[in-house]
Amino acid sequence: MIIRVNGESKEVSVDLSVRHFLKEMSLDENRIVIELNAKVLPKSEFSRTILEDGDRLELVEFVAGG
Amino acid sequence: MKIFVNEIVLKYNGKKTAGAVQNCYKPEADVLLCNGAPVKADHVIKADDHLILIKRGEIPTKTDLEILMRSRNPRIFNSAIKGRTIGIAGVGGLGSVVAVALARSFVKKLILVDFDVVEPSNLNRQQYFTDQLGFPKVEALKANLLRINPYLEIECVNQHITAENTVAIFRDADIVAECFDCAEAKAMIVQQVLSNLTCKIVAASGVAGFSDLEALKYRKLSSRFYLIGDGESAAVPGQGLTAAKVGIAANMQAAKIIELLIEDYDDNKS
């Protein structure tokens, strides 16, 4: 199935949780802010949220410095 | 004739010298400026001149300071900022600079949050002074901001921000500036603000190093979440944080905050 990640199409497997998706992308879930279909997804929901065809993800992985 | 004295328009029919205007409106003044340049008492004035009369060391009243300090800002800028409260999460290289820009812009109130103290390595980029080493950052910054604008309301929160206390700390903020150093803390507060408050958040990520300034840009992630930085330049050993680059990113945050306040002001008016 196809989802959109930061505006770009991406093919992902079915029954994939957000948490596993982040792992596949080598992203650190502690440094990530995700908006799923324009709504922020709390970190506590990462493992139980299953991606669906057509989902739109905006994600930011923060880096240190300030 | 019409003249401006300390940015207030007046009808003036006295003797046409700066000294005569001084005697009439502020005899105790010891510095006279006409149209931006220092002048002597015998300087001849003409219609529409702007005279500024200063008594050295005197702190103007709130009303006077507001008029004088905001006189170079666009009118919409002043209208939109008046009465607003901004939360600043972390007052290091980003937050202390954002705070200075907003204090100079005459916001009503700043909520400063940080658990840290001023240490020598901070002085390369943060808005502190050598005689403030060892003091809590929020208290030191409050002292510095009050020298810029003694009428600014400042709430100091000298503690760690956590997922549990974010909402209580920033409940009254119109906008929050995310100015932390640590990536995990950045993600945490953005998530908390977006999930549990209704205000906007302007965050920063990727501000380390000293070059590639053109890579610093804005991203609008959603209607309430804005990000400044290149997204990649992390502070790691060998790539530190420097005054000019972090300062630019911080001022981009402050500029975005002001832009959002103006948008909000326009929306509420129409």
| Nearest CB to B191 within list A42, A61, A66 | A42
Burial A10-46 (b: 16+ CB within 10 A, else e): eebeeebebebbbeeeeeebebbbbbbeeebbebeeb
The strand ranges marked E within chain A are 2-5, 8-11, 32-36, 39-40, 56-61
The residues of A whose Cβ lies within 8 A of any Cβ of B are 28, 30-33, 35, 38, 40, 42-43, 58, 60-66
Exposed / middle / buried, residue B135 (Cβ in 10 Å: 0-12, 13-18, 19+): middle
**Dist. CA B162–CA B152, nearest whole Å:** 26
Q: What is the pLDDT of residue B61?
A: 96
CB contact under 8 A, B231 and A60: yes
CB contact under 8 A, B231 and A31: no
Pairing of strands B50-54, B2-5: parallel
**Dist. CA B5–CA B15, nearest whole Å:** 15
Q: What is the pLDDT of residue B239?
A: 87
Q: B202: alpha, beta or left, given left = phi > 0 and alpha = psi -120 to 50?
A: beta
DSSP B6-48: TTEEEE--S-SBHHHHHHHH-TT--EEEETTEE--TT-B--TT
pLDDT in tens, B231-258: 999 998 888 999 999 999 999 999 999 9
The C-alpha angle with vertex B85 and arms to B179 and B190, in degrees rounded to 5, equals 35
Q: Looking at CA atoms only, how far is residue B197 from chain A in angstroms?
A: 12
Question: What is the reported pTM?
Answer: 0.95
Q: What is the pLDDT of residue B44?
A: 98
Q: What is the pLDDT of residue B59?
A: 97
Q: What is the pLDDT of residue B270?
A: 76
| Nearest CB to B205 within list A35, A40, A62 | A62
CB contact under 8 A, B195 and A40: yes
Q: What is the pLDDT of residue B238?
A: 81
Sequence-separated (6 or more) residues with CB below 8 Å from residue B15: none
CB contact under 8 A, B187 and A32: yes
Q: Looking at CA atoms only, how far is residue B193 from chain A in angstroms?
A: 10
Q: What is the pLDDT of residue B237?
A: 84
Q: What is the pLDDT of residue A35?
A: 94
pLDDT in tens, A4-45: 999 999 999 999 999 999 999 999 999 999 999 999 999 999
Q: Which residues of chain B have pLDDT under 50?
A: none
